[in-house]
Structure formats: C-alpha cells, structure tokens
C-alpha cells in the first residue's frame, strides 16, 4: 500500500504563503524591473547623481584645509621666546613633562623686496615625530650641513634660485640642495635648514601630543604661549551627510512621483496578482522589492561613479584647496552610510504608492482606475501647524540658539511638503476659470494628487531654498548700504598687517620693512586718490612671547567660564573683543580730539559707558580698573572705538607697534577698486578690509535663484514626462474627438506652468514667513526685497515652464501600445 501526502489547501486572503510566496513575488518584481528599466531610469539616475555629489562633497570636506597644516599630527603647539641656556632648559622641561616633542626653530624673517612680510627661515627635522607631515621633498635632497638650504617654489621664484645654486642672505652663503613644500599648506613659503643650524632663533615652536588635562596640570616653562588644535572631529562629514540627506529628500520626492506612476501603470497586473490569491503584503512587497532594487542600483552605481569622479577631480582641486590630496583619502564609513541612506530613500519612496495600491479592491485595480485622492485639508491642517511651530521656533531662536534653529528649519521644511497636496487641490479648484485645454490639465493634476503632490513638494523645496538665500543676501546688502553701522564707512578701507586684523599676531617689522610697507600703502592711497592716510598703532606687552611669528596687540575681551576639557578656568572669544588703539596725536587730530582736553590720569578714551565686564588681553588683567573719559569716536566695529592713552600705556608697561593704516577715499569704494587694492595689498603682504559693497551678495542671490529655477525646471521636465506618458490614451481620445496639435501642446504647457506657479508661491511664502521670524528684531532690513529675484521665481519660472512645455511637448506616437498584464 502506498501513501501520498497532499499539501493542505491554501485559504486565499488569510495567510501569507510563507517564504516561497515571498520569493516568487520578489522574482516577479525583479523580472518586471528588468523589462521596464527604461521607464524607471529616472529614479536610479537621480540617486546616482545624488551619490556622486555626496562622494565628491565628502572628499572635499575631509580634505579641506585644517589645523593639520600647523600642528602636523600633534594637538598642541607651544611657542618659546627664550634663547641660549634658558631655551635649552625650557625644552628639557617640556620633554620631562610630555615625553616626545618635535622642535621647530624659526630664525629672523628674511626680507623680501616690496613686501612687508618676510620669508620664514626654519630648522626642522624632516623625520620628526609630529612634524614630518609638514614637509615634502619634491627635488634634490634634505639639507644636512651648516651651508645647505632647501626652499619652496615661491621662495625660489622670489629670489631667482635654482637647485644647486648659491643663496646669500644675512652675510651667509648657502647652497640650495632641495626644493620642498608643506603638503598641507601649499601657500607656506619658507626656507629650510638642518636642525640646530639657527644659532639664535627668533622663536621656537614645539609640537606636543597630550591631553588638555595633561597640558593644564603638568609643569611648563614660564612665558610660554600654547595653541590648542580645534577638536573638530568629523564635523565636516556630518555636515556633508546632512546636506546629502536634504538632497535625498528631494530625490525621494521625485521617486514617490515615479513609483506612483509605475504603480498606476502596473495597476491591472497587481490587481490580477491579488485576484489569484496574493495578500496585501504580497502586493506591497512587489513595490517595495522594486524600490529596493532601484535604490541599490542607484546607490552603488553612484558610489562607484562618485569615487571615479573624485579620483579624476582631486588633482585639479589641490591649487584651490591649498594642499596635496590623497586620491583615495575618503571617509569610507560616511560614504557607506550615504549608500545605505540612498537605498533606504528609494524603499521609503516606494512604500507610500505600495500602501495605496495594496489597499485598492481587486475589481478597482483590474479596471486600472486611479484611487480617490485623500482629502487635502488633513495635510493642510498638519502642514499649517508645523509651519506655525517652525516660525515660532525660529522666532525664539533669536539667531543664536542652535536647537531652536534646527527645529524651526526642519518644521518649516516638513510643513512645505505637507502643504503640497493643498496646493494641488487649489489648482484643481481654479481649473474652472481656465480655457479648455488648461482646465483638463489642471484637473488631471488634482485627480492624480499623489504623484502631483510629490513633484510639487520637490519644486517648492528647491524654490524655498533659493528664496531664502535671495532674501537673506538682500538683508546683508541692505545692511552694507546703510549709512551707519557695520565694520567701516563706505569711503574708507583699512590695510592690516595681520591676516586676522586686530585679533591675531602682527609681524614685527624691521625699520626697512616698515618703510617698504608704508611706501606700498602710499601707492595704494595714490591710486585711490585718497584724502588722508592714518597710521593705526596698537599696544603690545614687550614681555609677551612670540606667536606665529608675531605678537598680538592688546584687546579687551569678555570672559566666559571654560568648558569641559578647556585649559584654565576662563576663556575668551575673538568675536567678542574690543581692540585697543594707541591715542597718538595723529589719531586724536583725525577725530577732532584736542589732546589738551584729555585729563592726565585718563587711561581710556571711549564713547562707551564702561568696560567693567572686559579683561585686558594679553595678561588677563582682571584687576585693572581703568579711568575712562568720554570721547566722540566712530561707532564702526573695525575703527578705533577705545583709545589707550600714554598714562594707560605706562601703567601697564605696554609699548607701541604698528598694526595698519586707515585710508579715506573721496567717494564710496567700488567693488572693482577693492579687487585692484586686494591684488596690490597681497603683493605687499598686507590685508584689506572694506565695507561690503553688496556685489558678492547680489551675485550669490542670482546664482542660487538660477540654480533653484533650473532644479525646478528639471523636476517639471521629469514629472510632466511621467504624467504625459500615462495619459497617452486620453490624448488619443482627444485627438479622435477633433483636438488639434495645439491643444495637446497646451495640455503639457498648462501642466508644467500650474506646477511651477504653485511651487513658486508655496516655496516663497514659507521662506518669507521663516525669515520674518528670523529677523523679527530687525524687520526694517527686509523692507527692500530682491524684486528681480522674486520676479524671476514667481513670474519667470511659470512662464519658462509654459513655453518649455509648449515647445518640447513633441508629437503623438503613431503606435498605441497595449498595457501589459505582467
């Protein structure tokens, strides 16, 4: 007797069929993707472009200029100004406290004709434990003996040197044995000698690798200044990933539209799948599996293409970034995260259409009729609440509270997305006022609200970003054009000796270098037809150690408690400091102050009511109680606002040092004049500060506006192409009813124009509300909106979209393809 075991009957709609059913559905989804990949190429292409941009952005971010150009692989840089036996004792103390250190000695600056800044002469071990990353030999060999030197390319050009030639400086002849560079800072011009070959160094830098607690607690030499490497971590990669997420949200919105069209195209096939017993899970799994395949293809293909683009692009970025780039120095972990985010974006974008299709009755799916759109007022209500919350959060942020800023931006962006269905519904209600062809197109948008809303949200997001930049730059330009306030008057410029103006070390000039700098300033003033040139003098502590080849002038700094891991108990911010200028007779005369009216015991001249909340830096003299005398001085941030008198200088044992020159022009300095002055100043080793002219801001606004419009037009091209491909039978019906080619073109043009106009209005409105909350304390600056940019967005975009849709609509296909029942 034989026994046969029969499989139990499958009860349709009550089970899921287990793993065999899932495998069958996934295989079917994969076959459909292979057959219809041309119809789905938009989503993988967008993901590929997003991944290429993310990969290149991560590469630029991780290879951006950083503190490594100064610190090497160390995290602390100590500067010693001692000499002789005291220097040896200080170095021994540092080695005893921190173990391994790397010593870099700097000699007197080698003067350069026509420049206020000389060339750095340094003695450094090329194989040093922390500084080896700061040196690279391009030609020749490293200097070894007392009469050998290696120079950078810029130094060789300045002094007309060549490999094997002789260079005589300071009464000493040296043979050029090598051409070197700082691979982390290609703009670093220096001459390198062997360690120990600078007999009397001007100052010595010591690279140290230690924790901040060790630096604070362990003994260290007196008079030593120390710089701490900023603990940035991988913040650049995080910022790039955040921007990538924003881009993927945009791609996801387009993917939703694409998957919605695909779901509508497959609706009868999915209905047939449900008719033969597939559950809601299986129908949903078809779309999700398709989304996963599309996401993986786009993500991994984009990552490979991005790495290839980065390898080819990175050599061209070295000159702009100012340092050498390792072709394969990429943050691979963030890159993998970006790949996963791209794949997840595609799956999430496929989920909503999959959910909608799975919920459709089988009969409705077999009829291939679109599902009834959900009421738009629900989305509008939630979007309105989120928009209000975002505006309130930006209002409470007061431009300083980061959590409120992030929350406000996120809430406003999500609100913009949720308001898109309401915008599509409004387009449908306005259709009754439009001509016949436009009415059909607008009602078709409202009927297929799911795909139209996703495209509209993408357009609104792109336009909203462009509008925010345009409005913000308009505020900046308005502030620059204001007659008072800001850094400088429009008819004045300052030539600083320090690259950081009054917040950084100023190079100590020899009499010859000071004379050269003054001649360059006079030449610049002559070209500008200046009415006056005023020398600005700072106060410096003569016992202050050298810092980065110079000394920082005294400033008044507002103290704050030190944070975790910061050395000391008090910290100061360079952005909240007041520079001190010496009250020279020339400066007093320039501002109309009679020296005879200044009391003999006055320490500071200022229009401020008091400076009790500030400390004197350097020296951190918190016990100094200066005597103030009121004086009428300009209220600009970069002009003298606090003057220290000779009495104050003597009490603090300070000396004078030149810090810059103030030049008065006969009229407002134009952007072209600023560019010319910049070129002359850089050649002289000077740094120019001028009032912003607004030209750069206007250019930035125009670029972002053009980019936003271009992105919106790209979205429209893809969306309208998808929509028109799905309405081919409707177009043929209209043709059979007597509609001409112009009517068919009007349908496409009206579809594009309606989406463009609605997206422009929603994006601009959300941007305006957000910025009104952001600038609530200075709303008067928004009284001058960028009319040209707003007109380009609100009028130009719909017009271009309409014309583009009309011209590019194309002809009707000759053959009518049947919709497959795969």
Looking at the fold, whether 73 and 56 belong to one and the same domain comes out as no
pLDDT tens for each residue of 270-298: 777 777 766 777 777 777 877 888 888 88
Burial class (CB in 10 A: 0-12, 13-18, 19+), 640: buried
Confidence at 134, pLDDT banded by 50, 70, 90: confident
pTM for the structure as a whole: 0.65
Alpha carbons 201 and 49: distance in angstroms, whole number: 54
pLDDT tens for each residue of 17-40: 567 767 776 777 777 777 766 666
Residue 146 tokens, joined: 């007392």
Closest CA to 454 of 380, 349, 374: 349
pLDDT tens for each residue of 463-514: 888 888 888 888 877 776 666 667 788 888 888 887 776 667 777 777 777 7
Looking at the fold, whether 514 and 447 belong to one and the same domain comes out as no
Place of tokens 């893809």: 718
Looking at the fold, whether 264 and 332 belong to one and the same domain comes out as yes
SS3 category, 676: helix
Alpha carbons 294 and 699: distance in angstroms, whole number: 38
Looking at the fold, whether 165 and 223 belong to one and the same domain comes out as yes
Confidence at 457, pLDDT banded by 50, 70, 90: confident
> Is 562 domain-assigned?
yes
Longest dimension (CA), the chain: 130
> Is 398 domain-assigned?
no
The residue ranking higher by pLDDT, 377 or 812, is 377
Looking at the fold, whether 735 and 776 belong to one and the same domain comes out as yes
Alpha carbons 428 and 439: distance in angstroms, whole number: 8
Which domain range does residue 571 map to? 492-690
Q: ω before 618 within 30° of 0 (cis)?
A: yes
Looking at the fold, whether 208 and 311 belong to one and the same domain comes out as no
Burial 80-92 (b: 16+ CB within 10 A, else e): bbbeeeebeebbe
At 396, which helix (H) or strand (E)? helix 376-397
> Is 409 domain-assigned?
no
User: Over 60: is that where the pLDDT of 559 sits?
Assistant: yes
Looking at the fold, whether 189 and 256 belong to one and the same domain comes out as no
Confidence at 149, pLDDT banded by 50, 70, 90: very high
> Is 392 domain-assigned?
no
The residue ranking higher by pLDDT, 595 or 113, is 595
Asked if residues 387 and 417 have their Cβ atoms less than 8 Å apart, the reply is: no
Last residue of a domain, one of 690, 712, 730: 690
Alpha carbons 555 and 544: distance in angstroms, whole number: 14
Alpha carbons 25 and 659: distance in angstroms, whole number: 75
pLDDT tens for each residue of 202-221: 888 888 888 877 877 787 78
First to last CA, the chain: 44
Looking at the fold, whether 685 and 719 belong to one and the same domain comes out as no
Looking at the fold, whether 674 and 745 belong to one and the same domain comes out as no
Confidence at 177, pLDDT banded by 50, 70, 90: very high
Which residues fall within 8 angstroms of residue 564, CB to CB, at 6 or more apart?
none
Closest CA to 353 of 465, 254, 437, 489: 254
Closest CA to 579 of 502, 690, 482, 526: 502
Alpha carbons 687 and 468: distance in angstroms, whole number: 32
> Is 386 domain-assigned?
no
Alpha carbons 186 and 201: distance in angstroms, whole number: 24
The residue ranking higher by pLDDT, 134 or 28, is 134
Counting the structural domains of the chain, the total is 4
> Which is it for strands 643-644 and 581-582: parallel, antiparallel or unpaired?
parallel
Please report how the helices 420-429 and 449-481 are oriented relative to each other, as an axis angle in degrees rounded to 10.
110
Alpha carbons 56 and 151: distance in angstroms, whole number: 33
Looking at the fold, whether 683 and 727 belong to one and the same domain comes out as no
> Is 18 domain-assigned?
no
User: Over 70: is that where the pLDDT of 68 sits?
Assistant: no
Burial class (CB in 10 A: 0-12, 13-18, 19+), 735: middle
> Is 362 domain-assigned?
yes
SS3 category, 608: coil
User: Over 50: is that where the pLDDT of 412 sits?
Assistant: yes
Alpha carbons 148 and 776: distance in angstroms, whole number: 64
Last residue of a domain, one of 197, 228, 259: 228
Looking at the fold, whether 611 and 745 belong to one and the same domain comes out as no
Last residue of a domain, one of 690, 721, 748: 690
What does the H/E/C string look like for 748-773? Answer: HHHHHHHHHHHHHHHHHHHHHHHHHH
Looking at the fold, whether 330 and 365 belong to one and the same domain comes out as yes
Closest CA to 167 of 155, 183, 182, 184: 155
> Is 416 domain-assigned?
no
SS3 category, 689: strand
Lowest model confidence (mean pLDDT) among 6-15, 431-440, 599-608: 6-15
Alpha carbons 725 and 38: distance in angstroms, whole number: 13
The residue ranking higher by pLDDT, 820 or 699, is 699
Lowest model confidence (mean pLDDT) among 119-123, 214-218, 766-770: 214-218
């Amino acid at each position: 007797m034989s026994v046969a075991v029969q499989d139990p009957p499958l009860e349709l709609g009550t089970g899921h069929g287990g793993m065999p059913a899932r495998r069958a559905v996934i295989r079917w989804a994969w076959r459909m993707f292979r057959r219809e990949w041309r119809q789905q190429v938009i989503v993988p292409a967008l993901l590929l472009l997003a991944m290429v941009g993310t990969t290149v952005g991560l590469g630029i971010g991780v290879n951006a200029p950083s503190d490594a150009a100064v610190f090497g692989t160390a995290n602390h840089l100590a500067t010693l100004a001692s000499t002789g036996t005291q220097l040896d004792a200080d170095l021994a103390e540092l080695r005893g406290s921190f173990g391994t250190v790397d010593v870099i000695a700097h000699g007197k600056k080698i003067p350069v004709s026509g420049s206020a800044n000389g060339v750095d002469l340094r003695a450094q071990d090329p194989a040093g434990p922390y500084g080896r990353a700061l040196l690279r030999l391009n030609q020749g060999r490293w200097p070894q003996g007392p009469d050998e030197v290696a120079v950078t390319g810029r130094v060789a050009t300045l002094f007309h040197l060549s490999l094997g030639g002789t260079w005589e400086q300071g009464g000493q002849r040296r043979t050029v044995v090598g051409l070197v560079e700082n691979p982390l800072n290609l703009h670093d011009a220096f001459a390198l000698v062997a360690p120990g070959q600078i007999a009397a160094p001007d100052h010595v830098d010591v690279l140290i690798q230690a924790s901040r607690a060790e630096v604070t607690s362990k003994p260290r030499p007196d008079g030593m200044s120390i710089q701490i490497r900023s603990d940035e971590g991988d913040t650049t990669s995080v910022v790039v990933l955040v921007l990538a997420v924003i881009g993927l949200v945009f791609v996801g919105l387009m993917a939703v539209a694409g998957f919605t069209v695909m779901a509508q195209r497959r609706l009868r096939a999915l209905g047939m799948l449900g008719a033969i017993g597939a559950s809601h899970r299986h129908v949903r799994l078809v779309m999700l599996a398709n989304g996963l395949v599309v996401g993986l293809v786009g993500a991994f293909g984009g990552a490979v293409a991005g790495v290839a683009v980065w390898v080819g692009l990175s050599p061209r970025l070295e000159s702009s970034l100012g340092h050498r780039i390792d072709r394969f120095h990429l943050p691979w972990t963030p890159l993998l995260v970006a790949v996963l985010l791209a794949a997840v974006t595609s799956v999430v974008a496929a989920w909503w259409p999959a959910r909608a299709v799975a919920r459709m009755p089988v009969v409705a799916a077999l009829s291939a009729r679109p599902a009834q759109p959900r009421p738009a007022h629900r989305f509008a209500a939630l979007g309105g609440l989120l928009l209000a919350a975002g505006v309130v959060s930006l209002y409470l942020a007061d431009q300083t509270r980061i959590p409120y800023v992030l929350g406000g931006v996120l809430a406003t962006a999500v609100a913009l997305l949720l308001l898109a269905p309401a915008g599509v519904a409004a387009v449908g209600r306005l259709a009754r006022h439009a001509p016949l062809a436009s009415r059909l197109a607008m009602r078709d948008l409202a009927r297929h609200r799911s795909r139209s809303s996703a495209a509209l949200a993408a357009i609104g997001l792109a336009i909203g970003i462009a509008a925010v930049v345009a409005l913000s730059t308009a505020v900046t330009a308005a502030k620059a054009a204001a007659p008072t306030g800001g850094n400088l008057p429009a008819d004045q410029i300052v030539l600083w000796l320090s690259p950081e103006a009054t917040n950084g070390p100023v190079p100590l000039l020899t009499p010859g270098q000071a004379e050269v700098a003054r001649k360059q300033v006079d030449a610049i003033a002559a070209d500008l037809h200046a009415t006056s040139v005023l020398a600005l003098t700072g106060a410096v502590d003569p016992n202050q150690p050298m810092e980065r080849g110079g000394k920082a002038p005294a400033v008044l700094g507002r103290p704050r408690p030190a944070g975790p891991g910061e050395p000391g108990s008090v910290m100061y911010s360079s952005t909240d400091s007041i520079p001190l200028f010496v009250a020279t007779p020339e400066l007093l005369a320039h501002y109309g102050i009679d020296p005879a009216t200044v009391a003999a015991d006055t320490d500071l001249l200022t229009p401020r009511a008091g400076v009790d909340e500030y400390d004197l830096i350097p020296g951190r003299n918190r016990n100094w109680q200066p005597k103030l005398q009121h004086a009428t001085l300009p209220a600009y941030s970069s002009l003298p606002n606090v003057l220290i008198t000779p009495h104050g200088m003597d009490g603090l044992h300070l000396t004078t040092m030149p810090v810059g020159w103030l030049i008065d022009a006969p009229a407002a300095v134009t952007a072209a004049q600023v560019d010319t002055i910049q070129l002359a100043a850089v050649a002289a080793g000077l740094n120019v500060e001028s009032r912003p002219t607004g030209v750069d801001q206007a250019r930035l606004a125009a670029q972002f506006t053009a980019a936003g419009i271009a992105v919106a037009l790209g979205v429209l091209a893809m969306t309208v192409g998808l929509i028109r491909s799905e309405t081919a039978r409707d177009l043929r019906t209209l043709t059979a009813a007597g509609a001409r080619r112009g009517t068919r073109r009007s349908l496409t043009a009206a579809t594009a124009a309606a989406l463009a106009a609605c997206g422009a209005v929603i994006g601009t409105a959300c941007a305006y509300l957000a910025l009104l909350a952001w600038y609530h304390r200075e709303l008067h600056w928004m009284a001058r909106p960028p009319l040209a940019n707003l007109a380009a967005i609100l009028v130009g975009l719909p017009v271009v979209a309409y014309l583009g849709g009309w011209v590019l609509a194309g002809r009707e296909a000759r053959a009518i393809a049947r919709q497959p029942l795969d």
